Chains A and B, each alone.
Chain A
Amino acid sequence: MNELVMAVFGAMLLIGAIGTVRSHDPFDKLISLGVLVAGVMPFLADRGYLDVLAATALIAPLSTIFILMAMRREGHGP
């Protein structure tokens, strides 16, 4: 992969991590976590682990949905 493209995706990963830590609303945290997951995926594709990429991309929303289940129980809404 090109060095510039790799730098852009690495910066996206760090932006997602810092945005997750800095935001206060749990929904904002989950959206920033989605940016972090999107930044991880091209690094998996760059090494050639396409099967790991497919499995991880299908498992990662499950983790978000479990956290959303806890948030719905606690009554976080608009």
Chain B
Amino acid sequence: MAPEFVLGLALLIIGTVASAFPGRRDYLTRLIHLEIPAWGLLLVMLSYDEALALFTFGGVSALSTFIYVRVMQKREAA
């Protein structure tokens, strides 16, 4: 097995558990922890040699973070 695959799966498991059960039950803590499985999924896609998937996922990850921040700010203001 490729080392990228094993490291990506380890990052996915660590990040998912940390995002589901954070230390402080805060949306900011969950949002920062959600960045870890994104990089783990990027490493798993890298081990399968999918170039287009890497490009698309890299763009969508930052866009989804922006959308989450906007939605949570609007929900807090309301």
Determine chain B's interface SS by DSSP, over half rule: helix
Determine chain A's interface SS by DSSP, over half rule: helix
Enumerate chain B residues within 8 angstroms of A24, measured Cβ to Cβ: 23-24
Measured CB to CB, the closest approach of chain A to B7, in angstroms, equals 5
Once A and B bind, how many residue pairs between them come within 8 Å at the CB atom? 90
Contact of B55 among A6, A13, A52 (CB under 8 A): A52
The total of chain B residues at the interface (CB under 8 A) is: 34
A14, B62: Cα distance in complex, Å:
22
Contact of B33 among A10, A21, A62 (CB under 8 A): A21
Contact digits for B36-68, partner A, Cβ 8 Å, 1 yes 0 no: 100100110010010100110011011001100
Known: A17-B11, A47-B46, A59-B62. A36 touches B39 (CB 8 A): yes
Measured CB to CB, the closest approach of chain A to B73, in angstroms, equals 6
Knowing that A14-B7, A66-B69 touch, tell me 11 more A-B residue pairs with CB under 8 angstroms: A13-B7, A20-B36, A21-B18, A21-B36, A30-B32, A36-B39, A43-B46, A52-B54, A52-B55, A55-B59, A67-B65
Taking Cβ atoms with an 8 Å cutoff, the residues of A that contact B are 6, 10, 13-14, 17-18, 20-21, 24, 26, 29-30, 33, 36-37, 40, 43-44, 47, 49, 52, 55-56, 59-60, 62-63, 66-67, 69-71, 73-74
